[in-house]
Copies of this chain bind each other. A is one copy, B any other.
Amino acid sequence: MKIELAESYGFCFGVKRAIKIAEDNQNSSTFGALIHNSKEISRLKNDFNVTLSEDLSDFKKGDKAVVRTHGIVKEDLASLYRQEVDVIDATCPYVTKLQKISESMSEEGYDVVIFGDEEHPEIRGVKSYVGDRAFVVLKVEELERIALQDKIAIVAQTTRKVEEYQKLTSYLIENYKEVRVFNTICNATFENQNAVRNLASRADVMIIIGGKNSSNTKQLHSIAENLCEKSYHIEDTEEIKKEWFKNATLCGIGAGASTPDWVIQEVIEVIEKQK
């Protein structure tokens, strides 16, 4: 069995940048998980004493707080500043841009439709930059139930699939007079997705590596699944099962934007042994 890594995989620019920021700020705390990968978060704790806190009240005056790649809620950021915490912003610049677009559209009086997962920290953050008229949706059916005003802007979670986004924008275009469409989906996401698409169409088995709560990894897995029946989303080598590789001649590997190279290497080593 041949093992082939997708042409583009793993850490995106924003994640690399955030890890660099965390490494440069030893003894700091991230407010929320810096990236969606518990293994990398453990490494940062062990090697750089960068801890993780989920509670604003943990931060005292002068503490270093690293803002996670997915960004945080506007009010929480204001609280950190009010608490005179030393805020170090590791928000992915693409997420910051998404927040800023949403905020400025809201200020200009637009209804802001956000294509994304209401529960995802990135979207919780983005939504907080919009006033009353923020509408987080994943599907056209949800849009159908909302009466939007005439001025409509739509933005997307950075890790979403563009085909799904186009379904929403097409609905809005058909049903409203003007729509300002911002393509806020990140190129790195595109590249990893295209690479998985390419590989999955040829592979007998696909392994997608990344955090179980990582949105972009879940997207990769969904793309792989459509093209390769035996597609598995794993976070850890322990999840790998020998039977997956039975009769396979090509095993493809993709990895989400928050998956460190060393985790990918570990997975490859374990798969090598299943042959």
Contact = CB atoms under 8 A, between A and B. Distances in A.
Interface residues of A, number: 15
How many monomers of this chain does the complex have? 2
Contacts of A170: 166, 169-170
Contacts of A173: 162, 165-166, 169, 181, 183
A5 interface: no
Contacts of A177: 182-183
Interface of A: 162, 165-166, 169-170, 173-174, 176-183
Contacts of A162: 173-174
A183 to B, nearest CB: 5
The 3 closest A-B pairs by CB, nearest first: A166-B170, A179-B181, A173-B181
A203 B182 CA distance: 43
B178 A181 contact: yes
Nearest to A174: B162
Contacts of A176: 183
A173 B167 CA distance: 11
Contacts of A180: 178-181
Nearest to A169: B173
